[in-house]
Structure 1
Amino acid sequence: MVSMFCGVLLGLLLTQAALDRELGFNKLRFGPWIGNPRLGGIFADPYSKAMLARSGELPLGGGEGLTLVAERDSAGNALSAHCTYTIAGDVPPARYWTLAVSYRDGRLIDNPSQRFGFTSSEIVRGADGKINLVASSLPRAGNWIPLAGAEPLRLTLRLYDAPLANESGGVQPIWPVITRLQCP
């Protein structure tokens, strides 16, 4: 009886651990950015499907685009609302993209300006066509995303109608670099 109870408990704990894996088992990593091109398609693994059913999230389908998340900067440090970051460089080709900042649980950061991110149609690009955003608790000129709170942060980059959305390997495009400028 005790061994059966221990077996059931171990099975439940392992299932919980598998469902807590962010983005499932088919993750791709591009610097600090992590995505799963199969998450919204018919080839998603069973644990990813269970994770989505539990969270209620509706991922982008394979032909619609790709969602990438970053919870660390390019140097590997966890993102914090107390720090100042630049998100700069190239964005992979896509018909449209959004970049938003939130807490790790998906809640938007409450801030007076009600600015949570940028889209490809509203961002001011440099002369070279690259993006350069600043995420900080202090106001900045230009492409500024306000940060607030004490919880760990997440950046979410969604690429809509992106040619790489169905690819699982091959040539890796260039992704925006997340650089921590200062941290008290």
Structure 2
Amino acid sequence: MFRVPLLVAIALITAFGGAILSAQSMLSASVGFGAIEVSGWRAFPAAQTVDADPYAKAHRAKAGRLLYGSAEGLQFTALRDSKGLSLTGTCSYRLYGRTPVARLWTLYAADSSGVPLVAGPDLPVAKNSQRILRQRDGTFEIAISRTAKAGNWLALPDTGGFQLVLTLLDTPAAASTGLSGLEMPVVEQTGCGQ
């Protein structure tokens, strides 16, 4: 007597549970389609527009992140250094070179889900184009490590893997015509266990 309703209930729970878990895994797995990669930095220019694919829209809604207009900004992430090794908090890095033309850019270290890392009170955990020391030719160098360095220093907590997030605001690189010939800064490992 209770066998049929019990089997129906189990089937419904399995179907709904499986659907919810598969949707959650898809949202966590990808920001969307149409990624561009420039010198190890990855961006999703279409994810910021109304023409974004459904996965990108859902990912953005789940994260509750600010949507930039197509000409307002573009966010790049770097998960690896110049030799292809994953970024880790137990190593030190040097970020050097130039960024694409932008009115303002910001740089910070984040965990795998994009949440900014906090190294400690009063430590520099983010940099921007307005507060950076530059060379005469316009290039810059930022030390990224757990221990303090002279000049531009971005503090890291003693953590496992992380990613660097570079956001360009008011940049021609955000338009589809600005994606060719971008010059991105290089992330170079300078040592581990320091």
TM-score in terms of structure 2 length: 0.84
Name the residue aligned to 1:179: 188
Deviation per CA, 1:19-56, whole angstroms, max 9, x where unpaired? Answer: 12343112111122111112121111101111111121
Name the residue aligned to 2:126: 117
Among 70, 73, 90, the residue aligned to 2:78: 70
1:178 to partner: Cα distance: 0.3
Q: Give the secondary structure class of the aligned counterpart of 1:182.
A: strand
Q: Give the secondary structure class of the aligned counterpart of 1:47.
A: helix
Deviation per CA, 1:83-113, whole angstroms, max 9, x where unpaired? Answer: 1000101110011111112222313323233
Among 151, 168, 173, the residue aligned to 1:159: 168
Comparing 105-114 and 153-162, the one that deviates more = 105-114
Name the residue aligned to 1:37: 45
Among 43, 56, 59, the residue aligned to 2:64: 56
Higher helix share: 2
Is the Cα contact below 8 Å between 1:102 and 1:116 reproduced in 2? no
Name the residue aligned to 2:144: 135
Distance in structure 2 (CA, Å) of the matches to 1:89 and 1:32: 14
Q: Gaps (5+ residues) in structure 1?
A: none
1:6 to partner: Cα distance: 7.3
Distance in structure 2 (CA, Å) of the matches to 1:103 and 1:172: 29
Kindly report the root-mean-square deviation, in angstroms, between the aligned alpha carbons of the 2 structures: 2.2
* Residues 1:18 and 2:26 aligned together: yes
How many residue pairs align between the two structures? 184
Distance in structure 2 (CA, Å) of the matches to 1:4 and 1:69: 40
The residue identity in structure 1 corresponding to 2:162 is L
Is the Cα contact below 8 Å between 1:23 and 1:35 reproduced in 2? no
The residue identity in structure 2 corresponding to 1:31 is S
Looking at CA atoms only, which structure, 1 or 2, has the larger radius of gyration? 2
Shift in alpha-carbon separation, 1:74–1:96, aligned structure 2, 3 A: same
